[in-house]
Amino acid sequence: MKNFGLIIDGKKIFTDKTFDVRNPATGEIFAQCPSAELAHLDQAVAAAQQAFVSWSQVADAERKAKIHALADLLEQHTPELMELLTRESGKPLGGYQGIGSGMELGGSVAWTRVTAELSLACELIQDDADARIEVHRKPLGVVGSIPPWNWPLMIAIWHIIPALRTGNTVVVKPSSLTPLATLRFVELANQILPAGVLNIVTAPSGIGSAMAKHPGIAKMVFTGSTPTGKSIMQNGAFNLKRCTLELGGNDAGIVLPDVDPKAIAPKLFAVGFHNSGQTCACLKRLYVHTDIYEEICNELTTLAQQAKQGNGLEEGVEFGPVQNADQLALVAELVDDARKGGGSILCGGERPAGPGYFYPLTLVADISDGVRLVDEEQFGPVLPIIRYTDVDDAIRRANASPFGLGGSIWSQDVAKATALASRLECGTAWVNDHASVQPNAPFGGVKESGYGVEFGHYGLEEYTSIQTVKIVKG
């Protein structure tokens, strides 16, 4: 086993206590992770505060160069990091349509490089005989980052890189279920960054809430469940922390009757099941017009039955396990509830025998709103298919949710689909696509799906405060 340690103030620190990290494909412990105490968090925040004094004053070109150097490190260590990701998260090395650990590393590199090139220029408000007024963007201080277990390294990159780009320093606490790739990245990054600029603490519990309450942390960035996001906001109110929260989603897709079922089914399948459905912005509720309902169900069933599920380290595997036992239990519970409620299980629906946290790709038809599988976020390899007859009613049902992360309209009539997409109550609306994000376009939720946005210059601004400078002349 590799000897993992915390990274605080540029130093590798080993702890008296450790916790287990399991491979979800086997259920077996394959690594030990350092378990930080609250004193370690205090040390990490103090180191980040001290480093902020100089890092916030580093020339823009130098910060940009260091961030590109971090992208170089990610590329150089891609095989090592891919294997860690697959062992701890369960996602395949390759995956269906290339969505696996390789894509996670590729996305991490892409986001790092694009963010390195972003900048927030001074804005000139007034410049006349009386005064010159400038608006500057200033870094906040120490940023606390808590990424989730489903895309652990890539989402850590989404948090860390814009914070560093804008002159902040960072303390990151990865999920205790998937800490290893992020630990290794931070260890590598400290070869490039000054001591204290990027620190990492890991623990099975307690550290996250302490970060939200910590007076030395100026901003929290969190990706995960809505209840935890609300808790972070409450705890952060102690010192009026800034927050960026990307929370739960129960994304609806609406398929209009003019589509070709055979042509569109592979696309719907991909956006509903990539990473075994364990993506915040996955398609999680599929509304299909009655005229093509049976055809869509049949096409999706064929695709699901042909998919190869297994240990992500094995060649040709397209879908891995559910990441952890608790999530597996929830997925099975929601499917059982749907079955009792009259839903038709088109495929899957029963946990296979054998090791690991596997659940088969499952499609549930003859189901509607009011059933838990439709109303709640399943976050697993299960897709409910809901029949509708009137598109206005489908829009109403799609919007009748406390969540509002993403949504989509599928049609050959792009103009009509775009008009309908604008009526969806969500942070991102796709037309003939779903769940695709990119580093130069803002992404975030409305309602209980989030607070603030990430990516592009909109996301970069969230790591800064505004300082107005008025220079009186004469």
Catalytic machinery residues = 246, 280
H helices of 117-244, in order, are 152-165, 180-189, 207-213, 226-236
The values of phi and psi at residue 378, to 5°, are -80, -35
H or E element at residue 20: strand 18-23
d(CA 231, CA 222): 11
Report CA-CA distances (Å) from 296 to 268, 278, 300, 379.
9, 22, 6, 22
Cβ atoms of 167 and 465 within 8 Å: the answer is no
Distance CA 450, CA 456 (A): 17
> What does the alpha-carbon distance between residue 16 and residue 190 come to, in Å, rounded to a whole number?
23
Is residue 281 within 8 A of residue 155, CB to CB? The reply is no
Asked whether 67 and 235 are in contact (CB, 8 A), the reply is no
Buried-exposed string 182-221: b where 16+ CB fall within 10 A, e elsewhere = bbbbbbbbbebbeebbbbbbbbbeebbebbbebebbbbbb
Quick check: 472 and 458 in contact, CB under 8 A? Answer: no
Rounded to an integer, what distance in angstroms lies between the CA atom of residue 257 and that of residue 287? Answer: 11
Give kind and range of the element (H or E) at residue 423.
none
